[in-house]
Amino acid sequence: MVILSSDVSKTEYFKEIHTSVSAVKGMQNRGGDYGSISSPEPSEGHIKVLCDHDVSTETFVSTVNWIKKHGEEIIEASLKSLLPEYSELRPLVLESLVSEDSNLILPNVNEYMALKSICGVIAIYVNNKTDAGEFSIGIEFGCNWDEEHGAGCLFEGLNVVDVGGADVAF
């Protein structure tokens, strides 16, 4: 389904579009307060896409349609970028677990696609296009390995240019 300018809603702080991206299907549902898990069932692919009011509606809509078209590539690149972060943080988080089942919360993951079971998209943020005309987006993830700060990836086109906590997505 193609997104149109009539699909854009405005809040006090953002322009917003609710849509589906098939690549998000199967990830954790992160629609709860502050990106918490909102359902034990895997996501059906529904996401929220946001932008500041200074991003033109035309740029916003065209970027959301681009995201829908390249969703598989975007999520794959995100998960590949997040795997080293997870591998680095996992031992530190395991030390802090008291009574939780570490294999459920923080399984030993060697394949990036396995991260889908322990993280989910909270929102995708659309920025103005880069000077080179590339789409610029940030993805905010809720994740088991950092419930407080989450994870984030910043893209220029299909290239991940930064990865880290959720604040990277802004």
**Residue 158 clears pLDDT 90, i.e. is over it:** yes
pLDDT tens track for 28-70: 999 888 889 999 899 999 999 999 999 999 999 999 999 999 9
CA angle 15/164/81 to nearest 5° reads 100
Lateral strand order in the sheet of 119-127: 9-10, 15-20, 46-51, 119-127, 136-143, 151-156, 159-164
Q: How confident is the model at residue 88 (pLDDT cuts 50, 70, 90)?
A: very high
Binned at pLDDT 50, 70 and 90, residue 104 comes out as: confident
Distance CA 27, CA 73 (A): 15
What's the one-letter identity of residue 37?
Answer: I
Share of the chain above pLDDT 70, in %: 100
Is 87:115 a contact under the CB 8 Å cutoff? no
Supply the pTM of this predicted model.
0.94
Cα 124–chain centre separation: 6
